[in-house]
Amino acid sequence: MLNAYDWRADRLVRLDTAVDHGPACWIDLVSPTAEEAAALEVMTGIDIPSRDEMDDVEPSARLYAEDGGVFMIGSVATDLETHDPIKTPVTFILKGGRLVTVSYGQPRSFQTFIAHATHKPGEKLAGGEAVMMGLIEAVIDRYADALETKGLELDAISRMIFRKRDPKAMESHNLQAVIRDIGRAGDFLALIRESLSSLQRLLAYHAAVSGARAANKADREARQTVRLLQRDAMALSELSVSMSSKVTFLMDATLGLINLEQNQIIKIFSVAAVALLPPTLIASIYGMNFDVMPELHWRYGYPAAVGAMILSAALPYFVFRKKRWL
């Protein structure tokens, strides 16, 4: 799908791509077909990267200049509200003051930026470069909100593990569910950290490429915006690293609680075996079939044997309780 936008009357206006996409300051190509990519290449003179080229991990294949255009491919996380977020490559192409973006599955942060810029008057975005900065800022803001939400979830898990007094809350099946939640949080943070690293490289490359331009007011403001975005991305990356350490700690603590619960179960079985061993011995002795066993003719032999079995079982139990093994 091909969408074209231009800045008119303090708003971002969506253009009719069949009529007036020529003057657009931003052309957004979402999951393009081969025909759409070919038509855009003819119109702009830009060689649109294929999906395989966008998935290439080599920095030289993701950040490069060609035919007067600057190509920057970054990874953006999508579906952050679900249990299965994914990353999708997004290509930013700057050429002749125009921005062309190519993505397979538009991130919701892009939709947020479009909704804000098309409905609320604001400062005019001077060309495609400013639109790109606005898109990246929207992505970083979305990551900040997502990390805040994930931090609250980790705090709730921590309280449940370390401060909950209800024994049923610490049952094995509940802890297994906690492990799944912690594992998903770890995957989420790794995805965010990878995307932030990608955006940091993209911003650094853009700053290096644009640094040779004349230092007019607009260029100075653009460089200041890039520096602010780099600082925000770095701060969020450091936050994600800190939260990843907490995820590791919570995972170790949860596994430790499961081991303690299993050890407690084994200890109970061990104590039961020790406590039942003396009664078993007594019952075995008096179950022998010998002719000469004086207790067999004793009037109180049976009560005495039963009492001895009960006493021999109770004595280890009270010893274990006194030593706080139970």
Domains and CATH numbers, the chain: 2-261 (3.30.460.20), 262-322 (1.20.58.340)
The answer, yes or no, to whether residue 145 has pLDDT greater than 80, is: yes
Encode pLDDT of 15-58 as tens digits. Answer: 876 555 567 888 888 888 888 888 878 877 888 888 888 887 77
Tokens linked to 226: 């890039």
- 3-state DSSP assignment of residue 275: helix
CA dist 288 and 233 (Å) reads: 82
Burial class (CB in 10 A: 0-12, 13-18, 19+), 233: buried
Task: Give the chain's mean pLDDT.
Answer: 81
Which percentage of the chain shows pLDDT scores above 90? 17
Residue 254 vs residue 165, higher pLDDT:
254
Confidence of residue 61 (pLDDT cuts 50, 70, 90): confident
**In what helix (H) or strand (E) does residue 125 lie, and over which residues does it extend?**
none
CA dist 81 and 154 (Å) reads: 15
The residues facing 99 across adjacent strands are 26, 94
CA angle 233, 127, 103 (to 5 degrees): 55
- The number of beta carbons lying within 10 Å of the beta carbon of residue 67 is 9
**Sign of the dihedral defined by the CA atoms of residues 262, 264, 267, 273, in that order:** negative
The answer, yes or no, to whether residue 286 has pLDDT greater than 80, is: no
**In what helix (H) or strand (E) does residue 4 lie, and over which residues does it extend?**
strand 2-8
Predicted pLDDT at 234: 93
- pTM for the whole structure: 0.77
